[in-house]
Chain A
């Protein structure tokens, strides 16, 4: 494709893909994890399947046409599990049937209130090590420049950068980990707000 030779157009494509993935797929990771946990008790298996499913969803060739992100992600995961079940016998086909039943029911969980999400977010950030938390709060909530935070905390700019990256990574993990932590909710709201 000619797009690959034009860096601007290539960047635009990656941007569009990221936005699609954030809006359509990422909000359903925690739900997928919750479903899979019932049939895959081993943590390492679960993580591998989810990482693989997310990576494949991200690589979806014709992503712009996929509007039902949840069904798409669940289908990818299901196919992966079938492959694995054939090969490694990690789970039985009876369990897979359970997974299908659960996956088809999109409204099993009640939506959490936006304030619950906020509360969970606070709980996650509260578990960060002190300096990491402080750097992150000053940067994210009070929008202070990194140089200023470094000065105030008596740390180097690169250390503050590291703290902020670490804190961001922690929140990233939480998004996929906590089933009730409906980060996707606010992501979708953001999206709606932008589109409106």
Chain B
């Protein structure tokens, strides 16, 4: 027998090596790298087979581009990928199950993945999803989760954005949530998790949530009507008044509410729901304070109210972004704005 690569793990190693060599040569494109690859192929026919397969895999997967124009490139910026958007989860699963298997490494991967469910929302969208164990997840704008509910465990990974959880009691395992490395656990109850740029914001409405610490002694428990800011293993808890808690959950009713936030903060908040951003073009107006309640999708109305109230003018860019600038004849500083409607 000629074959040296008869064992499965050896073959896998060979496949990886072939892919690596092919990609190296293809990326650099230099004669040297290709000569290296060809020399490796000449060592053994099995190298040639694996290398030819790597090339074929690369060529064939280029077909995926055929479906890409239908997709906003932004949609793949999220780790959950774009396949849900194109194919629809049901179709993917159907494709997986109509393929006949014998137990193979690829099959195991397929089966493992098929019991992980991914949900995502687009910018400006919010949607509630019910899980197999009776729990529910409400995703705010531009958010994504992966969910694996098993007999003896339930696991959710928050990939981006913000989600409210209602955890159904009666399951043998707590619901474990991984949010960019921070681990939260709840047996029952309701809470909201938001991935802010530098901090994870937790708001517990009902029940309690355990936050896993960096070390064994580090577990912290956040009780109902409390909020927590979590960063790099440190957990800062604060009691929340009813109105504070309600404001953090107002998005579920499609509302954003400001009570003395700066214009910069308000713009950040609205931008979560906008495809083309609001941009503050003048640092002097960034610190203006804002009060009011708005529909999350009504940022244009918000801008409209800003203009006469504060002498802020808007310039719409070619990409439909909106630049906010101080109107030239408006020189006063420190004015606050109340825009209740």
Within 8 A of B (CB), among A152-176: 161-162, 164-166, 168-176
Is the CB of B117 closer than 8 A to any CB of chain A? no
Within 8 A of A (CB), among B6-27: 6, 8, 11-12, 15-16, 18-20, 22-23, 27
A181 to B95, CA, bound (A): 10
B58-66, B183-191, B316-324 - interface stretch: B58-66
Q: Which residues of A contact B34 (CB under 8 A)?
A: 11
> Are A169 and B2 closer than 8 Å at their CB atoms?
no
Q: Which residues of B contact A176 (CB under 8 A)?
A: 53
* Residue from the list B38, B83, B106 in contact with A170, Cβ < 8 A: B106
User: Which residues of A come within 8 Å of B, CB atoms?
Assistant: 7, 10-11, 14-15, 17-18, 21-22, 26, 37, 43-44, 47-48, 51-52, 54-56, 58-59, 117-127, 130-131, 133-134, 136-138, 140-142, 146, 161-162, 164-166, 168-181, 183, 186-187, 190
A48 to B11, CA, bound (A): 10
* Residue from the list A18, A119, A120, A170 in contact with B51, Cβ < 8 A: A18
Q: Which residues of A contact B315 (CB under 8 A)?
A: none
Q: With both chains docked as a complex, state the minimum distance between the C-beta of A170 and any C-beta of chain B, in angstroms.
A: 7
Closest 4 CB pairs of A and B: A171-B57, A59-B45, A55-B45, A168-B19
* Residue from the list B23, B66, B96 in contact with A165, Cβ < 8 A: B23
User: Which residues of B come within 8 Å of A, CB atoms?
Assistant: 1-3, 5-6, 8, 11-12, 15-16, 18-20, 22-23, 27, 34-35, 38, 41-42, 44-46, 48-68, 73, 76, 79-83, 86-87, 91-92, 95-96, 98-100, 102-106, 109-110, 112-114, 146, 159
Nearest chain-A residue to B13 (Cβ)? A169
> Are B2 and A52 closer than 8 Å at their CB atoms?
yes
> Are A168 and B104 closer than 8 Å at their CB atoms?
no
**Contact A56:B45 (CB < 8 A) given known A140-B61, A180-B99:** yes
Nearest chain-A residue to B8 (Cβ)? A47
A177 to B108, CA, bound (A): 13
**Contact A175:B49 (CB < 8 A) given known A10-B42, A165-B16:** no
A154 to B203, CA, bound (A): 28
> Are B57 and A175 closer than 8 Å at their CB atoms?
yes
**Contact A181:B99 (CB < 8 A) given known A172-B19, A175-B60:** yes
